[in-house]
Each structure stands twice: as C-alpha cells, then as structure tokens.
Amino acid sequence: MERVAACHCGKLRAIATGEPERVYVCHCKSCQRRTGAVVHSGSRWLKSQVRIEGEHKIYGRVADSGFEIRFHFCPDCGSSVFWEGDRGPEYCGIAVGCFADPDFPPPVYSAYEGAKHPWLGIATAEEHYPGPRPANLPVGG
C-alpha cells in the first residue's frame, strides 16, 4: 500500500509504502507549537519505506532525549511534513495530519499527557505516559 503525505500547498510530499511501524500522539508543548494543533499525531516508518518529493527546509533542535531531531518543512507554506533524528537514524517520522486520511491507522500510544489539553481524549491508545514513552520498551502497540 502506498500513502501520500503532503504539505498545505502540496509541493512537499512524503510517499510511504507498506504500513507504519507505529502510530502515536504527543501532547508536548514543543509539538503543540510546531504543529499549531493541540496535539501532534505521528507515524514512524523505516527510511527505506519513504520517498520524498519537493523542496524542504530543516529546523533542528535537541529533544528531551538529548538527541537532535530535524523537522523538514515546506519553504512555501511552512507545513512540517516529516522528520528524522539521531536517536533512530534508520527511521523517518511523517505527520499523520499530512495524509489527511481519516482511515489512517489510529494511535496506539499517547505521550506527554502531562501537557494534554484536558478536554482531549485518545480513545484508541492502549498506553498512556505523562512524559516520553520509555525508550527501552518494544516498538509497536
């Protein structure tokens, strides 16, 4: 299966094949500011599953994990479509919202609930964390 994630103007696209390794939401304040949404919805893929088309700029920062994470965004419309980082160099994250697909697999975990807006519920998540998901847990749901 092939899915296409695109920025607001459509010039930057991430084309993913197969299924995401994990789908999650993050309530941290950095994600809130980055996306402009009250919650970030992310999907993780092997880089070998993902093809990028279009120009992109990069904003990098050091995450709470201590590793740098780099967000790739459209230079024309500003949507942050995908990211990659030093903690998992073989992976690429893609913003679930950029797929604009209500049938996309639901999140299996919910991180940084310490910053969650109280009216928001994540009905499908089986795991809930007040902070980051512990790094030593197995991947997936």
Cβ(38)–Cβ(120) below 8 Å: yes
Question: Hey, which residues between 25 and 44 contact Zn ion (CB under 5 A)?
Answer: 26, 28, 31
Question: Hey, which residues between 94 and 133 contact Zn ion (CB under 5 A)?
Answer: none
Position among 38, 58, 62, 77 found at the interface with Zn ion (CB under 5 A): 77
For Zn ion, give the closer residue by CB, 18 or 101.
101
CB of 100 to Zn ion, least distance (A): 13
For Zn ion, give the closer residue by CB, 49 or 80.
80
CB of 30 to Zn ion, least distance (A): 5
End-to-end CA gap in the chain? 20
Task: Choose one: 18-26, 82-90, 116-124, 130-138; the region binding Zn ion (CB under 5 A).
Answer: 18-26
Q: Name the residues that contact Zn ion, by CB under 5 A.
A: 7, 9, 11, 26, 28, 31, 74, 76-77
